[in-house]
Structure 1
């Protein structure tokens, strides 16, 4: 509500009435745990349809919840926002083992954070070059290390070779880590999905045998869900 008020300059009572109208029309729904609002797939009846961040968020919400239910660690989905990666879905609030508090809406570096690195590693070369130019003028030190392009190319090579991204160990909080993989649609990366955990609690073996396979499977399921939503076919209930 505060974000909408700042962007539109409309009085909050007016925004509340508009949101109520959109909810009645099925275009908007309450967010996780009743906090905030989100766009629903019914907006595909408008203009050019339903795509981008809202599509990834709606398709992925059941699957990140399932990851946290089974593996306990908080999961998140992030989408590109300028030259940053922004968290659109998070289970941090429902995980008793979360290294973080609420994270929805938080924007992270593409260069140092796992969710951002997973995006860079699988985006096309043309988009990567545009993002590098945007990172070059960023005021955030995480976005603009010395020899930026060389660093990014090394991160991409390592991430592709591994098949997953990890957070830069030099950034805070150092007691935790995040692992992430891309979410693909029609051969394009449309978002990333990751899990955060305390370094002391997850071994390399557990990372490779439990977390990474679970994230990869969730990513595939999200892609399937996005295709169903785009086709305007009924969406199954999600993981059981």
Structure 2
């Protein structure tokens, strides 16, 4: 509400009424635990192909919540945002053992963070080349380390080889880690899903035998849910 008020300068009661109208129309819904608002995938009916974050979030939110219910660790779903990856779903507020507080909207590096690495590792080569150019223009050392393309190519080979992505161990916070996998859709990556945990509490065996299989199953379920949503969407005018 505060963000909309600052961006539009509309009175807050007016914004409340507008949001109520959009909620009735199915274009927005309440956010996590009733806090804030988010758009739904029905916004695609308003234009020629709005997609990405809202669609992946709508399809993936139940599965992210299920992961946290079963495994306790907070789950996150992220989508590309320029040369970074942005959190569109987070269950940190529902996890009693979360290393972080609310993370929705936070943008992470594609090069060093697990959710971004999972995206880079499985996105099409044409998209990867575009992202490399965006990363090369960044002043953030996490995005643009020395010998950027070599670093990224080596990271991709490692991530694909093990079948999941981890955070670069050299970046903070070092007490926790994130493991992530892609959400595949056709020949592209719709987003990524990950779990964050304290390193001292999760063994390597638990990581590969419990967390990774659960993430991969959730990813497959989210892909199927996205495809169902797409089939049920009205065609854009």
The answer, yes or no, to whether TM exceeds 0.5 is yes
Structure 2 residue 194 is matched with structure 1 residue 198: no
Q: For 1:44 and 1:133, how far apart are their aligned partners in 2?
A: 29
CA shift for structure 1 position 9: 4.4
Give the equivalent residue in structure 2 for 1:236. none
CA shift for structure 1 position 110: 0.4
Structure 2 matches for 1:1-240, cutoff 5 A? 1-49=1-49, 51-232=51-232
Deviates more, 1:140-149 or 1:1-10: 1-10
Q: For 1:12 and 1:158, how far apart are their aligned partners in 2?
A: 50
Q: Deviations over 1:146-194 (max 9, x none)?
A: 1111111111110111110000001111000000000011121010000
Over 3 Å off, 4+ runs: 5-14
CA RMSD of aligned residues (A): 1.4
**Aligned residue pairs, count:** 233
Secondary structure at the counterpart of residue 168 of structure 1: coil
Deviates more, 1:214-223 or 1:34-43: 34-43
Secondary structure at the counterpart of residue 180 of structure 1: strand
Secondary structure at the counterpart of residue 232 of structure 2: coil
Secondary structure at the counterpart of residue 66 of structure 1: helix
Secondary structure at the counterpart of residue 159 of structure 1: helix
Q: Is there any run of 5+ residues in structure 2 with no aligned partner, and where?
A: none
Secondary structure at the counterpart of residue 196 of structure 1: strand
Q: Is there any run of 5+ residues in structure 1 with no aligned partner, and where?
A: 234-240
CA shift for structure 1 position 45: 3.0
User: Contact between 1:50 and 1:230, CA under 8 Å: does it hold in 2?
Assistant: no
**Structure 2-normalised TM-score?**
0.94
Q: Deviations over 1:67-87 (max 9, x none)?
A: 000001000000001101000
**Structure 1-normalised TM-score?**
0.93
Q: For 2:35 and 2:48, how far apart are their aligned partners in 1?
A: 28
Q: For 2:20 and 2:127, how far apart are their aligned partners in 1?
A: 38
CA shift for structure 1 position 50: 5.6
Deviates more, 1:47-56 or 1:185-194: 47-56
Q: For 1:142 and 1:220, how far apart are their aligned partners in 2?
A: 30
Q: For 1:94 and 1:158, how far apart are their aligned partners in 2?
A: 32
Give the equivalent residue in structure 2 for 1:238. none
Q: For 2:42 and 2:209, how far apart are their aligned partners in 1?
A: 38
User: Contact between 1:40 and 1:54, CA under 8 Å: does it hold in 2?
Assistant: yes
Secondary structure at the counterpart of residue 42 of structure 1: helix
